[in-house]
Amino acid sequence: MAERKVLNKYYPPDFDPSKIPKLKREKNRQQKVRLMSPFSMRCNTCGQWIGKGTKFNARKETVEGEKFYSILIYRFYIRCTRCNAEITFKTDPGNIGYVCEQGAQRNFEPWRDEEEQVEEERKKKEEEEENNPMRALENRTEESRREMEILDALDEIQTKNALQARVDVDSAIEHVAEKRVRLEELKKKAEDEEIERLVKNAFSTVDGERVKRVRKNVDGDSDVDYDNGDDERDEEERLAKVRQKKLFAGSFGKQEGGFGKSPSSSTLGKQKEKFLDIRVKPKATAQPNPTETNTKVKNKSADPPPPETSSGDNNLLGSLVGGYSSGSDSE
């Protein structure tokens, strides 16, 4: 039994579609379509009311010579349901609707009210400007401000589009690399500031006074310097050290020339120990703050009083000679 609705058709082996002639259709021929009336209308012949949404078998064609920009305009042909009179209407892309051409009259056109309202507002505005010059000036100022805002917005959009157009993979990678370098520089700067802060805390007191660490001489002696700006005390310390060296050298020269014997190692050690124990006591005004004791090195033994004048030097020479004689006797 054959199918009522044939889905597949038989093509013989000798079928050649190129031999079938092409149909020549008219360029602007009418097409039969099924549609519903897009608006309510009244027939001009019999006065029959045709409601919106009534179904019709219509003919459609393209309107020649009319376009809304690049949009084609179509015309439709229907017949009245009562008198069978022909009614035509066409599309209106400008108002997003339809326009009734002949055979009927549209009951309501929404864009007409909008056009009338716009026209009334325009006339009212012109009358106000004629009667009130200040109002006209305000309107012109408002229009100028609105134009400037529109131009600024347009310029901003163009700039943003230009930036987006210039962005590529290489520039994005370069931007990321520059950002990483800036972060590293900021990190290094923060570390340097932290180190500087720690150094400042280590070499300064709570009051902001700077201090120096222990400085050792060549012979193993250690001196504690207080960087408090006391130049006179520093000069006294330097002169005392020079005086010690001269006395030490002179005493050994006399011993070698007068007796012809070199002092023993034990004697030299005692003499050196005596000289090493000599310190210059700082003035009372230059005493360090008790809070600075953790940053200054304490001497192993208490500081003796500062060396006196020539009488102190004579006593020192006497002790040296006594030590030398005791050493020679022991030998």
- The single-letter DSSP state of residue 85 is -
CA distance 106 to 284: 117
| 3-state SS assignment for residue 294 | helix
Residues in CB range of 157: below 8 A, 6 or more apart: none
| 3-state SS assignment for residue 280 | coil
Is 46 labeled as ligand-binding?
yes
Is 100 labeled as ligand-binding?
no
CA distance 28 to 72: 13
CA distance 46 to 165: 64
Contact 26, 33 (CB under 8 A): no
Task: Report how far apart the first and last C-alpha atoms of the chain are (Å, whole number).
Answer: 151
Residues in CB range of 253: below 8 A, 6 or more apart: none
CA 316-321-322 angle, 5° bins: 95
DSSP sequence for 165-226: HH--HHHHHHHHHHHHHHHHHHHHHHHHHHHHHHHHHHSB-TTS-B----EE-TTS-EE---
Binding region: 43, 46, 80, 83
Binding region for Zn(2+): 43, 46, 80, 83
